[in-house]
Structure 1
């Protein structure tokens, strides 16, 4: 048998193993979706064991000696670019996973699953002390996890790489610090401005009415209902594969734009997932490229499309019809872009102050993981940073440090990708318009296919073929930069608030 045939056989066996492993992970994802959307409240004890078992199986497959042998055999093989990318991605995951004991992986999975109802009760009762021991336990487990991977490196950097392996922590910190330094003065100027933006919404809007509006918005944007569904969850999210990418939202009776914005955001995630190559399902070539890129897609659709004036020219009649208001596009555009530094809740924050919420969480979790901050100090430090960055102080921990689910899931290192994604969204949208010309007329007419096709060709279709920095250069011609986002934010909000 020729060497090429042997390599081909090995690569086929390798990818068979990878696909089976990926399907185990995808099944665990569906169980997580069910727990947040449909599972009865009493199902947690069994669900914790189920997710822990799948996590253990996935870890065993990822650390299997057979997979190690395949990777060794393929190390010196002549592979094409796609095969080499697949091997690169699995090797990175395999090498990290083999350093972590399987029982620790299972313990983390079970602990975080059990933490969900503890966090929910603590948040409901505004009792951080009730959640603190659980948070401390999760922190210790994640520090141990990072120590197994590389005991000589900053543990936060190691955990950050779980979500963004190819953008280094120095790049992330540099961009976040620049956002903090340049956005705080802009937010202060807006707070001091005499300009008040319009808000045509008065009273309450029932869930069925809002659901009809957001479903029509998804229709118009081009959501594929044959491969998706819309549900509600306490914390909106999207999950799935290129064959089944689901979105969730939540409804605030007094703020119908909250559900609309979060639904468009999750649509952005889902349309990226649905745009991944179907023929590469189960391998890295059919997987999304980490969280900065994923968040860029949701932020692009939510902000650069969904909060643009042309979008409200298009959507205004539908909003008026569903919600029973009589507002012109300019009024609705202002309502969708109000800046409110006093808003304490991240997922309800406006496009601009949102980044202060992210930077605050990033700084706190980084210090927690590094051991520079005690869990007991979190509420006070959180409140101090809110006051420093946004001039407002939470009255309760439920509207402060208990509001997010991420630490409950052990997702330390996740938060920075939200702002990094927003930065990339502006850069990608600028690149799309550089190729296609201004998209204002298309958006005004409700024609979103041109933008969608460009994103699929330049971002979605690549899966994990490129590392993050290479994908950004492939799509935009430049390295990641905050220039486009800061120019966009300064121009947009300067115009809105007559600065």
Structure 2
């Protein structure tokens, strides 16, 4: 993977910026210190999920709380407010103005919140991760419920400090989507509610039965070797990344160190493989950020767009027939019993729709979004107080039956399956928005590049370079709607995603 050619080009293009005001330099120096503390907390969190012994949770909670409180104190210090005031009417370049805008937003949202509360939120979230993990393993929702309730109350308290006149859920939503109104998000989801269930129903009624050639159990060592081979196949930079396992797959990192995790299901090797490719997509975003802007807003990813990168690589590369025409021999090398497997069979297997699946991260590409819609609805109702914590398992099961026609036998397969409620709310939208943006980016990149031809030639670097040029290198230079328009030439729209799923699954299922 290329490292810093585009970063250097971007840096060279901005050397004519006006001389920085003293307040700007001081502000940026402070923000870099805060960013390094936050990066340290992120890697402590990575360690907690990947390598830390379970008994270390109480100490880790204190460590993360201390880093959070210190970061908060540095950000809301009176000096920061003075520097921002000095810069309100200063002559700044476009990049400097964007940097000040992002820091100002962080400052204004943080300044209203007591540092002690932020420390308590961090500490409770860190403690809750281990409690959730144990509760999930034991199928014991009651063991996790008090923490879930505590996190909700802490997050509501934080939201009321930030904007007491707004519903708490909307304030939490604006942590990610400050410039994309919640009404527009609701309209986007309404489109998907209208389009996806009929398509899923048509698929279920179809006579087409796609191949599912992966039976039996596959050793974890073989699956891991396959995932490592996939990362090498795609061009993962081993000098700046690694693969590990975690209870819930995730990526953690920056432009110098972007680590991916996966997990292994004995009966489904495609699950770990697609999760690995998904997290590789996240890593490409981090590794494509400008190195000369590390620790600054322009060297940080836009969280609301991150999922588009993982879904692009997972779905628009890793689930395509050209990919499997090239990668199938690697799968056959690492998994026994598949010497006769054909490209068509594995292509069908990786794109098969199975609405009866209970687990979001194991769901097929299409019904995945019904899992997200379900979570968003419960999330919002729970924050609003319309659903109490004790009611969540029942509400979850009812919505699973309504949207997917299946009811979990256990809470482990139901409301305990995701880690996210240990730390945050109003964030599940990003997963579906990521798929919508990925489809829009896929349409744009295919206007410029022969994507299928590059995949067939095993030339993945041009795809990464295109994404770096159109998305990664900007960091937080643009707010979410503007970044999407800069990258694709159009405002955010669900049209490309709707067309994509109808065309792809219509062909697969002869609709």
With the shorter chain as reference, the TM-score category is over 0.9
Offset, 1:137: 1.0
Q: Counterpart in 1 of 2:176?
A: 163
Give the whole-Å Cα distance in 2 for the aligned partners of 1:375 and 1:62: 34
Q: Counterpart in 2 of 1:225?
A: 238
On the 8 A contact 1:7/1:77 being kept in 2, the answer is no
Q: How does 1:307-456 map to 2 (within 5 A)?
A: 307-324=319-336, 325-326=338-339, 327-409=341-423, 411-436=424-449, 438-456=450-468
After superposition, the C-alpha distances for 1:135-176 in whole angstroms (9 at most, x for unaligned) are 111111111111100011121111011122222211211111
Q: Tell me the TM-score normalized by structure 2.
A: 0.95
- Ranges of 4+ aligned residues in structure 1 off by more than 3 Å: 4-7
Q: Counterpart in 1 of 2:77?
A: 64
On the 8 A contact 1:394/1:400 being kept in 2, the answer is yes
Offset, 1:6: 8.7
Give the whole-Å Cα distance in 2 for the aligned partners of 1:421 and 1:341: 21
Offset, 1:393: 1.1
Q: Counterpart in 1 of 2:6?
A: none
Matched, 1:97 2:107: no
After superposition, the C-alpha distances for 1:169-223 in whole angstroms (9 at most, x for unaligned) are 1121111121122101111111121211112222221122111111111112111
Give the whole-Å Cα distance in 2 for the aligned partners of 1:310 and 1:246: 27
Give the whole-Å Cα distance in 2 for the aligned partners of 1:64 and 1:222: 43
Q: Counterpart in 2 of 1:484?
A: 496
After superposition, the C-alpha distances for 1:4-35 in whole angstroms (9 at most, x for unaligned) are 99953221111111100100000000100000
Q: Counterpart in 2 of 1:470?
A: 482
Q: Counterpart in 1 of 2:37?
A: 24
On the 8 A contact 1:164/1:417 being kept in 2, the answer is no
Q: Structure 2: any 5+ residue segments left out of the alignment? A: 1-16
Q: Counterpart in 2 of 1:457?
A: 469
On the 8 A contact 2:300/2:475 being kept in 1, the answer is yes
SS in 1 for 2:252: strand
On the 8 A contact 1:7/1:74 being kept in 2, the answer is no
Q: Counterpart in 2 of 1:81?
A: 94
On the 8 A contact 1:230/1:247 being kept in 2, the answer is yes
After superposition, the C-alpha distances for 1:81-130 in whole angstroms (9 at most, x for unaligned) are 11000000000010000011111111111111111222122222222222
Residue from 16, 21, 42 that aligns with 2:55: 42
Seen in structure 2, the aligned counterparts of structure 1 residues 81 and 401 have a Cα distance that, compared at 3 Å, is same
Q: Structure 1: any 5+ residue segments left out of the alignment? A: none
After superposition, the C-alpha distances for 1:29-86 in whole angstroms (9 at most, x for unaligned) are 0100000000011101110100000000011111111111111111110000110000
